[in-house]
Amino acid sequence: MAATGPTLYLVYEPEGACFDRLVSEGFSARAAAEVSSYLAQSTDLAPEFELIAGASAQRGIAFQAVELDEAAAVLGAANRNNSLVWTLTDGIAYFRGGVSPALARLNGLATIGADDSLFALCQDKFRAGAVLAALGLPVPVSGLARGGTWLAEPPASASGYFVKPNRLGAKIGIWEDSHCRQASDALALAERVFEAYRDDVVVQPYVPGRNVRASFLALDPEAGPGALGIFFVDSGGDFQTMADSLALYGDTGAAAKAGGRYAEPALVSVDSIQPVAAQRIRQVAARLMSALGLRDVYSLDFRVEPDDTVHLIEFEVCPGLPCFDFRAYCRREWRLGLAEAMAETAARRLLR
């Protein structure tokens, strides 16, 4: 039955559904488990759906969590005058969440977040990098390889290269040797990625510095880049690998918590150490919001050097809401837990 009052619909793709589909398409069970782990935020948030519903009810709106395979029917029956669609998990290749904002648009429903064109763009790192460079933003120049063949060669680099899948989630690297020295090593990594995941790789000159995550939620619909939470993310390594990700989220992360082995990376305010770099990051965010159309909720990944040079690595229109860094951002910026922040964000739009 379709909801009648103001309603927030949260559309998500479950890990299990993705795993089963990938196995049916011929992926190994190991690769399917690794790939579907990128959807761990849907697993991690599901136990809090009742909290979100309660926080929403307190603010005069209803909440409905919708599995992606049910989204076409549910959104097709939604009232276009008082419905709001929030897409939790994106994807255009291994994952299918990018269809959710398109379904919302098809049915004339308002959405939280960027439009569906950006859902597609951010999931293709090579194309996204080209667009960001055209906007004059500080992104590394990328090469593109498929298997052992260059589709676009990267520039020469004295610092070596960084290799990452082009469309697989948002991770900076897969293996510990994702930072390699020679272009030939990058091609060898490209072959490994293609064999395991059937994906092209982006090959960029390695950029030094510390990892920074900038998180944004426009709890106030008029919020701008000043509402960014900008933090160094210090995990003890130079970059996050697939193994690091598995240890933090989903079933593996839950098992680590239960066994007392879970350790979150440290979050340190960039403003407190490098305020010039923090201001440059806000300028990048302002440019992305005005020229590219980022809005409502997103995250940006940077590398920041000691001299305040910033390198934009990528942007995400579906940041990991239940992840430690976004929860910390909601507490510090908005003084709310995640469920309350989501409900307040939706209510301020639905009840305006």
Question: Using one digit for the tens of pLDDT, what is the confidence trace for 195-231?
Answer: 988 999 999 999 989 999 999 999 999 999 999 999 9
Based on the domain organization, do 195 and 225 belong to the same domain?
no
Q: Identify the domain boundary among 157, 174, 205.
A: 205
Report if residue 135 sits inside a domain: no
In sequence order, the 6+-apart residues with CB closer than 8 A to the CB of 195 are none
C-alpha 8/C-alpha 344 separation (Å) is 11
Based on the domain organization, do 227 and 322 belong to the same domain?
yes
- DSSP tally for the chain: helices H, then strands E: 14, 14
pLDDT in tens, 162-202: 999 998 865 556 677 788 999 999 999 999 999 988 999 99
C-alpha 113/C-alpha 100 separation (Å) is 11
Based on the domain organization, do 224 and 201 belong to the same domain?
no
pLDDT at 272: 96
pLDDT at 119 exceeding the cut of 80: yes
In this prediction, residues 61-69 reach a mean pLDDT of 97
Based on the domain organization, do 194 and 217 belong to the same domain?
no
In this prediction, residues 120-144 reach a mean pLDDT of 95
Residue range(s) defining the domain that contains residue 104: 7-114
In this prediction, residues 34-41 reach a mean pLDDT of 89
Q: Identify the domain boundary among 153, 185, 205.
A: 205
User: For residue 218, what is the domain's CATH number?
Assistant: 3.30.470.20
Residue carrying the six token digits 């906007």: 135
In this prediction, residues 256-261 reach a mean pLDDT of 53
Based on the domain organization, do 193 and 241 belong to the same domain?
no
In this prediction, residues 74-84 reach a mean pLDDT of 97
DSSP assignment of 80-125: TTSEEEEE----SSS--TTHHHHHHHHTT-EEESS-HHHHHHHT-H
Based on the domain organization, do 215 and 201 belong to the same domain?
no
DSSP assignment of 182-226: SHHHHHHHHHHHHHHH---EEEEE---SEEEEEEEE-SSTT--GG
pLDDT at 250: 53
pLDDT at 247 exceeding the cut of 70: no
Based on the domain organization, do 195 and 261 belong to the same domain?
no
Q: How many domains does one find in the chain? A: 3
Q: Provide the edge-to-edge strand list for the sheet that holds 179-180.
A: 149-152, 143-146, 201-205, 161-165, 179-180
pLDDT at 253 exceeding the cut of 60: no
Based on the domain organization, do 214 and 199 belong to the same domain?
no
pLDDT at 264: 73
In this prediction, residues 316-345 reach a mean pLDDT of 96
In this prediction, residues 56-76 reach a mean pLDDT of 97
Based on the domain organization, do 156 and 225 belong to the same domain?
no
pLDDT band at 236 (very low <50, low <70, confident <90, very high): low
Nearest to 167 by CA among 242, 90, 69: 90
pLDDT in tens, 264-288: 788 999 999 999 999 999 999 999 9
pLDDT at 334 exceeding the cut of 60: yes
pLDDT at 94: 87
pLDDT at 266: 86
Report if residue 121 sits inside a domain: no
In this prediction, residues 226-237 reach a mean pLDDT of 86
In this prediction, residues 230-247 reach a mean pLDDT of 66
The chain-wide mean pLDDT, for the chain, equals 90
Least confident range from 26-40, 54-68, 120-134: namely 26-40
Based on the domain organization, do 173 and 72 belong to the same domain?
no
Based on the domain organization, do 164 and 197 belong to the same domain?
yes
Report if residue 177 sits inside a domain: yes
Based on the domain organization, do 29 and 93 belong to the same domain?
yes
C-alpha 219/C-alpha 123 separation (Å) is 25
- At 132 the three-state DSSP class reads helix
C-alpha 158/C-alpha 320 separation (Å) is 34
- At 328 the three-state DSSP class reads helix
Report if residue 123 sits inside a domain: no
